[in-house]
């Protein structure tokens, strides 16, 4: 496992890498806009998380800066099939190449396998070209990290997403970021229990922030979710959904679907 304490601000490092990557992505923007016209409309990500029980966003993730390689034998199609059979309400796909060993092509790869399950592009979005890219490759939603964006950027990116038929998940880590997410009129807000600057986990953060999320907003708890006890507790606090990655990926393709089913059954509707 990586020693996250050796890096004072991992998030800053990732953003600097993104700044260099988007130069190429911007050049492809005309291609993305043309491609968007020819693909199917985005699936309704928010609606997928609006069931009576607790919705599960299952994540496809090969690696992370905090855990290193999570899935040695990475078979995304088999994982996607297991997630679908297990009853995942949506699937998050890590597309960052440098730090999470993902790729934007993974979205296209798993699209047919997931059928009518919405796909969230999970990356570090700092430019509108990345949003066009997400839709062009078949994503139905995308992650916005409030901690790396200004209020104006949040508003602009949310607006662009909606123009393209995508409702983004806005991720927060403290009250200031939550305030900005609410000000930007986010419809889906995720509380990440992992500090992206140090990658340390604080599972009490969800409890701290849930009361400040408006009832009309879909609330998602992310990171550190390992058991049915966790999911039942988060649902009792008022969360509509959980985003689970490492727990599912480490369980393997033969067990991850069963865990999703157990998480959903832990909630009495």
Question: Which of the residues are catalytic?
Answer: 59, 61, 122, 171, 192, 222-223
Token digits of residue 51: 């069931």
Report yes or no: 115 and 84 within 8 Å, Cβ to Cβ: yes
Match 């403290």 to its residue by tokens: 174
Question: What is the SS3 assignment for 101?
Answer: coil
The Cα–Cα gap between 232 and 230 comes to: 6
């Amino acid at each position: 496992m990586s020693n996250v304490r050796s890096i004072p601000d991992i998030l800053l490092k990732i953003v600097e890498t993104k700044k260099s990557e988007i130069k190429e992505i911007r050049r492809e923007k005309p291609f993305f806009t043309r491609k968007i016209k020819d693909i199917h409309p985005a699936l309704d990500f928010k609606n997928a998380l609006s069931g009576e029980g607790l919705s599960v966003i299952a994540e496809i993730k090969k690696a992370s800066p905090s855990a290193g390689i999570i899935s040695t034998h990475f078979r995304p199609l088999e994982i996607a099939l297991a997630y679908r059979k297990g009853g995942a309400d949506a699937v998050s796909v890590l597309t960052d190449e440098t730090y999470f060993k993902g790729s934007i092509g993974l979205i296209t790869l798993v699209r047919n396998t997931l059928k009518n399950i919405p796909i969230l592009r999970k990356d570090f979005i700092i430019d509108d070209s990345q949003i066009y890219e997400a839709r062009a490759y078949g994503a139905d939603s995308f992650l916005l990290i409030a901690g790396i964006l200004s209020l104006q950027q949040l508003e602009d990116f949310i607006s662009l997403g909606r123009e393209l038929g995508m409702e983004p998940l806005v991720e927060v880590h403290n009250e200031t970021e939550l305030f900005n997410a609410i000000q930007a009129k986010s419809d889906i807000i995720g509380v990440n229990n992992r500090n992206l600057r140090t990658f340390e986990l604080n599972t009490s953060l969800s409890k701290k922030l849930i009361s400040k999320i408006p009832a009309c907003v879909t609330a998602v708890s992310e990171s550190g979710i390992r058991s049915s006890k966790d999911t039942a507790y988060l649902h009792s606090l008022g969360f509509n959904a959980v985003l689970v990655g490492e727990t599912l990926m480490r369980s393997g393709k033969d067990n991850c679907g069963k865990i999703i089913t157990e998480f959903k059954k832990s909630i009495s509707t």
